[in-house]
Amino acid sequence: MDIERLIRKYDATAPRYTSYPTANHFSDEVGPADYAAWLGNITPETPVSLYLHIPFCKTMCAYCGCHTKIIPSYDPAADYVEHLLGEIDLVAETLGRAQPVSHIQWGGGTPTFLTTDDLRRLFDRLRARFALRDDAEIAIEIDPRTIGRDKIDALASLGVNRISFGVQDFDPAVQEVINRVQPYETVRDVTGWARAAGIDDINFDLMYGLPLQTEDTIRRTMAQAASLAPKRLAVFGYAHVPWFAKHQEKLEQYDLPDPVARYRQFMILTNALKDHDYHPIGIDHFAKSDDPMFRAQKNGTLHRNFQGYTTDTAEIMLAFGTTAISQLPEGFVQNTPLLKKHRERVENGALATVRGIVVEQDDLTRRGIIERMMCHFETDYGVLSPAAQASVAAKLAGFEQDGIITRDGTFVRMAATSQIFTRLVCTAFDAHFKPASQRHAKAV
């Protein structure tokens, strides 16, 4: 298989499939009343996951594609915390009980932008309003540049048992270009503080496809990351989406690697991490053999949601804060991206939902097909209707002809050397996907 020829042939965009249907199909036809009704359908014994979005950062990283806000003072964050507390109360009151919780994820932005006192207030409110299981995973994203040992110790005392570090790259020239200067020694020290505080489950987020990265700098970064022995690594290809994140235009003055160069970088980092005893998980994660994510992949329980690959098995995620997306059996709902509107809704005793989507049975079926392929590189679409099967088969034909997949009836498996095309193959199962009218990041 001439993989580089195929990369040039299939130089296209595709969703990341952290949900299905994907968020670009949400509309304002779904709103607060729908969310309230769906919350009312949750049974008392059903475990849920919680997500809290903290949108603030001290500086803007040039590669960032997240919903973030750079604020000159702490005042907007202090105000936000008050209304986040109110939103937690509103959701809990709508539920009418302390729902059991199996997993909490804090994302952003930078969750540790908040003061220790405000983090404690939010943790205390969650524990007052929900029933956290003793074995709940509590994970938080941190910025190693802006956190001190005291705050790491405080996080441990609050029950945090997994930390994700934004690292991206250790090369000084790359760090300068992407406006995220954090020496290896900084990450090393914070990693040590976390372990000393009893937080052993540590993730690093890394990137490839950035300006000035070379095959040699990629190798060095992987070796430096592995030397600190995080349990997991998420290694994302830089998604250049300046129509969504205008600040990314600054990177266009540099030569961004083309899809073939990105593929070569990915293979170099994959082989480097394998040499350090990390196992590939899905399309962009790596884990040590003693990490639950490795075991989940082995036993078929790996899942994918808005946080990427996860061991969380809860089917319901309740999300708080601006832009936060909740997932329920009936569909998805998303909060307003506007701080002012979030404040107004909560102060008026209303949920902050502004859009979403109702999922039909066909969506649920296709979600399972896509998730299986994204997590395990194989799937079976035989549960679809005969007409839908015929449509999928037609879309898969080119991939099969090029050796990207093998097919036995309705059972499909990615070829071992072509897993980088997985997102593109999943578009064949996506009834909503219209490549000419949607904007996504490059699939390779």
- pLDDT tens-place string over residues 47-79: 999 999 999 999 999 888 888 899 989 999 999
∠ CA 333-207-259 to the nearest 5 degrees? 95
> Exposed, middle or buried by CB within 10 Å (0-12, 13-18, 19+), for 49?
buried
| Cβ atoms 191, 165 nearer than 8 A | yes
Give the integer Cα–Cα distance in Å for 120 and 124: 6
Q: How far apart are CA 326 and CA 19, in angstroms?
A: 11
CA dist 215 and 266 (Å) reads 9
Mean pLDDT of the chain: 95
Does the structure show a pLDDT above 80 at 279?
yes
The two three-digit tokens of residue 224, written as one number: 């430096």
Tokens encoding 136 = 């709940």
Q: Tell me: pLDDT of 436 over 80.
A: no
DSSP state of 20: S
Question: Hey, what are 389's tokens?
Answer: 């099967």
What's the pLDDT score for residue 440?
Answer: 64
Q: Of 268, 297, 270, give the one whose Cα is nearest residue 282.
A: 297
| Per-residue pLDDT at 11 exceeds 90 | no
Q: What is the mean pLDDT of residues 220-237?
A: 97
Q: Is the pLDDT of residue 199 over 70?
A: yes
Return the pLDDT at 141.
97
Place of tokens 């991939």: 399
The SS3 call for residue 282 is: coil
The pLDDT tens digits of the residues spanning 372-393 come to 999 999 999 999 999 999 999 9
Cite the DSSP H helix spans in 28-138: 32-40, 75-95, 116-129
Residue 397 scores a pLDDT above 60:
yes
Q: Give me the pLDDT at residue 5, please.
A: 94
Query: What single string gives the DSSP state of each residue in 321-338?
Result: STT-EEEETTEEEEE-S-
- The predicted pLDDT at position 438 comes to 55
Ordered by where they begin, the domains of the chain are: 1-18+360-444 (1.10.10.920), 22-319 (3.80.30.20)
- Give the C-alpha separation, 122 to 340, whole Å: 20
CA atoms of 273 and 280, how far apart (whole Å): 8
Show the DSSP H helices in 96-158 as ranges. 116-129, 149-157
Looking at residue 437, what is its pLDDT?
Answer: 53
**According to the model, what pLDDT value does residue 65 have?**
81
pLDDT of residue 269: 97
Beta strand 303-305 with 308-310: parallel, antiparallel or unpaired?
antiparallel
Band of the pLDDT at 244, cuts 50, 70, 90?
confident
Q: Under a CB-based contact definition with an 8 Å cutoff, are residues 321 and 64 in contact? A: no
pLDDT at 67: 81
10 Å CB burial of residue 120 (0-12, 13-18, 19+) is middle
Residues 6+ apart with CB under 8 A from 58: 70, 110, 113, 143, 146
Give CA–CA dist 83/376, Å, rounded: 40
DSSP code string of 408-433: ETTEEEE-GGGGGGHHHHHGGG-TT-
Instruction: Please say if the pLDDT value at position 96 is more than 70.
Output: yes
Question: Contact 353/32 with Cβ under 8 angstroms?
Answer: yes
The residue among 112, 121, 200 whose CA lies nearest residue 149 is 112
Specify the pLDDT at position 83.
98
pTM of the predicted model as reported, rounded to 2 decimal places: 0.94
Number of Cβ within a 10 Å radius of residue 223: 14
Take residue 180 and report the two structure tokens written for it.
């995220």
Q: Return the number of other C-beta atoms located less than 10 Å from residue 92's C-beta.
A: 19
